[in-house]
Amino acid sequence: MTGLRKSYGCPVEFSLDLLGGKWKMVILARLKQNLMRYGELRRAIPDLSDKVLTERLGGLREVGLVESLADADGVTRYQLTARGESLRSVLQALYDWGEAEAATLKVSIRPPAPTSD
C-alpha cells in the first residue's frame, strides 16, 4: 500500500492519512447513498475536477474502500466495498455535524440541481 507509514501516533492520525484531502470523504459520502457512475459523481460535485476525481477514485480503489463495476453498456459504476461500508459511521457523523453546524452558522447547503441523463 503506497504512502502508508508503519506507525502513527493515534488512530485519528492514521484515519486521516488514508482519508485526508479535500475530496475523498466527499466522494465516499456520495457513494454511501448508492453506487454511481463517473459522470454522476462529476455532476454531483461540480467543483471537483475530472483529473482529481479520477485520481481520488484510483486511490480509494487502491486501499480497498471503493470498487468499480464495468457494466454491459460500457459505463463504469463505483460503489463502496464492505471495507468502505465500515466508514458509514464516520461519514454519517460528518454529515450530521456539518448539517447542524451549517444551520447554526447560516451557511447554505445546496446540492447541485439534478440533471436528466
Q: Which residues bind a copy of itself (CB under 8 A)?
A: 1, 4-16, 18, 20, 22, 25-26, 29-30, 44-47, 86-87, 89-102, 105, 107-112
Backbone torsion region of residue 74, taken as left when φ is above 0, otherwise alpha when ψ lies between -120 and 50, otherwise beta: left
116 touches, from a copy of itself, DNA, none (C-beta below 5 to 8 Å by class)? none
Q: Provide, rounded to whole angstroms, the least separation between the CB of residue 50 and DNA.
A: 5
Q: List Cβ neighbours of 105 (8 Å cut-off, separation of 6 or more).
A: none
- Exactly one of 76, 88, 97, 101 binds DNA (CB under 7 A); which one? 76
Take residue 101 and report the three cell numbers written for it. Answer: 453546524
Indicate the SS3 state at residue 76.
strand
Of 75 and 93, nearer to a copy of itself (C-beta) is 93
Of 4 and 69, nearer to a copy of itself (C-beta) is 4
Residue 12 to residues 62, 92, 103, 112: CA-CA distances in angstroms? 20, 16, 26, 31
Nearest one of 20, 22, 26, 15 to 86, comparing CA atoms: 15
Of 20 and 64, nearer to DNA (C-beta) is 20
Q: Provide, rounded to whole angstroms, the least separation between the CB of residue 74 and a copy of itself.
A: 28
Of 14 and 37, nearer to DNA (C-beta) is 37
